[in-house]
Chain A
Amino acid sequence: MYRKILDKLQVLTIDFEKFLNKVFSQQYNPFYYHGAVPNLFMWTLFITGLLLFAYFQPTLDSAYISVNYISTKIPFGQIVRGLHRYAADAMVIAVLIHAIRVFFTDRYRKYRWIAWYSGVALLLCMFVIGVTGYVLVWDERSYMIVLMMTDALNQIPFIGQTLAKLFVNGEVITHYTMAMSFFIHVGISFFLLYLIWLHYVRISRPVTDVPLGLGMLLFSLIMIPAALIPVVSGKPAVLTETPHEFPIDWFYLWIFPLFSGMPALIVWTGLFVAVAILLLVPYLIVDIPKSPAAVSLDNCVGCTLCAKDCPYEAIYMVPRTDHPKYKQLAIVIDSRCAECGLCVGACAFKAIDLPQKHSKEIIAKIGDVLKEPITV
């Protein structure tokens, strides 16, 4: 049942992409670069963030003023600020599309588990970075975010109070609160780089860049709003007045309406369960285990073609001494092997084969199939 639904979803995705192929052509189909698109927005965020970093002052007194200074006095400051905001929103959309497509097309489990797990971590980090980013502006909304977040964190049993103390960086809101948010916002952004390395490891030649044309199109999607709809701060936060409402950015601040609607503990539990489900999803379907590719010692000539063609970095070459002529030998790392047979196609010496689908059998089958007479 579950499998059938997944199959339907896969056909649905392929149908949708066929339609996109007609619009964009295969070379520029954004869905074929679903992993590179979030990357594009991430680098936009890094660069614009670095520019904002130069003028931002992380204290309660001057954060609001410095952000407004960036918007009004610095040349192109408004656009850089706008890009930083809209790229962040675009990134959520791109990341969700990436995750959903990977799920629908069945490319998240078995030998890909490490990419899925690091992806979940990346997703969580993205939301933490987003929420702390909204604190830095220090308008009424930021103040509300800090208040509500502290309240919600306090309700987590055992570790809640420590977390709340860490988030506020003390008992009450001070300059150090702002410093902490700034630290989390920038610090975790750099932690993303490590997670992305984990995300790419075991993938040969990851597609990290979109083609130039598609990149310009996607960039214009954030550049146009950044130029036309300036991002502005709300009223400055005043610590003696508690605001009651604030405009919601549904991409990052979706958790706050939940906090105001129900007890925070339920929200945290829901979040915990959601993450647990995400981590379990790759193991919901179990395939019959097959055997990874096997190298024949007698036939391998050490030409490295299979190691070059393997899409999962599962093959590497080692020096060999047992043969008078050939100096290298291909070795398969079983846990990384996807049993896809690309190495078989790359081998001209019948030296590497899938035991369950041997190239000899296939060649024999080709012969058998062709021997059958055509009925006229």
Chain B
Amino acid sequence: MTNKKKKILGIVCERSVDLKKHIQKNKLKDKDNVSIVELTCSGMIQPVMLEEAFKQGAEGVFVMGCQIGDCHFREGNKWCQERLLGQRPPNIKKTVDKNKVRGYWLAKCDYKKFLDKVNKFEEDLCK
């Protein structure tokens, strides 16, 4: 594997950036090293899921929810953000390298912004 392609997993709220058109076999069509798992809400993401992802060989994990303040289920993205920041239980284990975790808060039609951020993430991981 070249240095450039890092295995990245995205755990994504199905109401934030609309990825249905851009996914093929659970991977982004534009970047096939990025796998996507969709959930009902970003608030559903358990810290265990992040730990599991790294255990299964992911080199970077990002979490994506709607814009802060605009969660369909009122508070999901807020809780998720606070968990990533370590301000809300259950906490993410300290064995997880926080440099390899990102949280994006984007609206339904922000696909371009989303790609930019993922590219940036990939660059950061390669450093």
Contact = CB atoms under 8 A, between A and B. Distances in A.
A17 interface: yes
Interface stretch (B64-72, B96-104, B119-127): B64-72
Nearest to B57: A370
A11 B108 contact: yes
Given A341-B43, A354-B40, A376-B1, 18 more contacts: A14-B70, A26-B67, A32-B69, A106-B72, A305-B89, A311-B76, A338-B73, A339-B40, A342-B41, A348-B46, A348-B90, A363-B48, A363-B52, A365-B26, A365-B37, A369-B9, A370-B57, A372-B27
A294 B2 CA distance: 45
B10 to A, nearest CB: 10
Contact of B9 (A203, A357, A366): A366
B91 to A, nearest CB: 9
Which of under 10, 10 to 19, 20 to 34, or 35 or more describes the interface residues of A?
Answer: 35 or more
Interface of B: 1-2, 5, 7, 9, 11, 25-27, 32-33, 35-37, 39-41, 43-49, 52-53, 56-58, 67-70, 72-76, 79-80, 83, 89-90, 107-110
B85 to A, nearest CB: 14
A21 B107 CA distance: 12
Interface in A36-77: none
A347 interface: yes
Contacts, number: 136
Contacts of B39: 341, 357, 362
Contact of A366 (B43, B52, B68): B52
Interface string A340-376: 1110111110100010010100110111011110111
